[in-house]
């Protein structure tokens, strides 16, 4: 990982993009990194487009603004690809990670000529298989950790087990499903270009 990594998340209200960005910040912090994790809201309602951000660094972060030229972009909902310019400012040597089952031809069209790396994962399939419900944020969190090499996978999984243990202390059955979702997502994310 280079010294400062900037990530922009695109999702819809209620899909957990903000939560995933905050979980990523916590996990990176627990490995000794300096972090920022924060959302940007428009109309605060279910289904409305939202943006969240992460900065992760080995040195103190002195920037306090939105991220306009991210290294990585995470798209939690592929319906945003046609209405939001998710590649705006995205560095060519970075990557975009998309929750989608759509193919390369469609993605080439909607990514507005982006020439960098494109990764996909079917977060719906992963979450339905492991959680029994559609929660795309957990698989997308694992996908960006893998693509951006933010931390060792074993360190990430260990940290998330502790985090889920705290968050879901009264629902221990949820911990196992979320851990399985992370593990499966680490295997399922794939590069398409």
d(CA 75, CA 95): 11
The tokens 């559609």 sit on which residue? 134
- How many other CB atoms are found less than 10 A from the CB of residue 110? 18
Phi then psi for residue 86, to 5 deg, are -70, -20
Q: Which of 72, 91, 101 is nearest to 10 (CA)?
A: 72
pLDDT at 44: 61
Give the pLDDT score at 43.
61
Residue 10: per-residue pLDDT: 95
- Cα 109 to Cα 44: distance, rounded to the nearest angstrom: 30
pLDDT number for residue 29? 95
User: For position 171, what pLDDT does the model report?
Assistant: 80
Mean pLDDT by 10 residues, the chain (193 residues): 88 90 93 92 74 96 94 97 95 96 94 93 96 94 96 93 82 86 96 86
């Amino acid at each position: 990982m280079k010294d400062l990594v900037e990530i922009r998340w695109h999702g819809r209200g209620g899909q957990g993009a903000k939560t995933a960005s905050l979980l990523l910040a916590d996990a990176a912090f627990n490995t000794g990194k300096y972090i920022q994790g924060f959302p940007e809201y428009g109309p605060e309602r279910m289904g409305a487009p939202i943006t969240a951000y992460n900065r992760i660094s080995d040195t103190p972060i002195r920037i306090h603004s939105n991220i306009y030229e991210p290294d990585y972009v995470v798209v939690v909902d592929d319906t945003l690809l046609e209405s939001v310019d998710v590649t705006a400012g995205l560095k060519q040597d970075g990557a975009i990670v998309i929750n989608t089952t759509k193919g390369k031809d469609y993605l080439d069209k909607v990514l507005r000529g982006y020439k960098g790396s494109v990764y996909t994962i079917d977060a719906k399939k992963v979450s339905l298989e492991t959680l029994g419900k559609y929660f795309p944020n957990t698989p997308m969190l694992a996908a960006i950790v893998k693509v951006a090499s933010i931390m060792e996978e074993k360190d990430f999984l260990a940290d998330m087990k502790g985090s889920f243990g705290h968050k879901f202390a009264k629902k221990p059955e949820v911990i196992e499903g979320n851990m399985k979702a992370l593990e499966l997502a680490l295997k399922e994310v794939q590069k398409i270009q």
